[in-house]
């Protein structure tokens, strides 16, 4: 299987932020499988850059009072503190990942990177036809973004299975299977790296 043309492909790096990844922060949004994929995401981003892909860093940054967060999470915000608050340590990218010049940071406040953002417009104006997705977490932000990308008719949508993670391997596998069933490519990082650039 050949990789999509680099200049027409974007990599979406989703929610690789301290609050989602680092157990020591004891964040209520921490993804149990997140820490294990950091090195794979670092490698995937490196390969994407080598191939000339447009790297987009999709992150959550919330109002300290939680006014822009989903209703079911608003109780997590009190006294000006809560997960992935703008400017807080928990909202920063995990060590080993950094935005380089020419890359793009997209802030979302819901699961899908497409919902109430300008992502689709950005991708269209950049000539992007294919997407590669890495990050956390598989049943929520990964899945919602991928289903929207398929609905929006991106030619190829790829989820790198060992550069994405969920709370448990079983949840991860079930959601990968669902995405594969709607035409999403689901290679391992090694398989994806071996695709023709």
Topology at the third CATH level for domain 6-58+93-194? Rossmann fold (3.40.50)
DSSP letter assigned to residue 195: S
Give the model confidence (pLDDT) of 66-114 as tens digits: 999 999 999 999 888 999 999 999 999 999 999 999 999 999 999 999 9
Give the model confidence (pLDDT) of 113-144 as tens digits: 999 999 999 999 999 999 999 999 999 999 99
* Closest-CA residue to 119 (of 140, 83, 92, 146): 146
Radius of gyration of the chain (CA): 16
Say if residues 176 and 163 touch (Cβ distance below 8 Å).
Answer: no
Beta bridge partners of 12: 56, 133
pTM of the model as a whole: 0.96
């Amino acid at each position: 299987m050949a990789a999509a043309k680099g200049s027409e492909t974007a990599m979406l790096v989703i929610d690789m932020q301290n609050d989602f990844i680092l157990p020591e922060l004891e964040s209520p949004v921490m993804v149990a499988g997140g820490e294990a994929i950091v090195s794979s995401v670092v490698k995937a981003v490196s390969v994407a850059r080598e191939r000339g892909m447009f790297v987009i860093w999709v992150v959550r940054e919330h109002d300290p009072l939680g006014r822009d967060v989903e209703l079911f999470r608003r109780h997590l915000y009190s006294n000006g503190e809560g997960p992935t608050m703008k400017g807080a340590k928990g909202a920063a990218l995990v060590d080993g990942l950094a935005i380089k010049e020419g890359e793009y940071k997209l802030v979302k406040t819901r699961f899908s990177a497409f919902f109430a953002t300008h992502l689709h417009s950005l991708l269209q104006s950049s000539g992007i036809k294919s997407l590669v997705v890495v990050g956390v977490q598989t049943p929520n932000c990964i899945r919602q973004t991928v289903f929207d990308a398929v609905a929006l008719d991106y030619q190829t949508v790829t989820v790198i299975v060992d550069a994405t993670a969920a709370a448990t391997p079983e949840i991860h596998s079930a959601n990968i299977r669902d995405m594969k069933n709607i035409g999403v490519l689901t290679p391992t990082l090694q398989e994806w790296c071996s695709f023709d650039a």
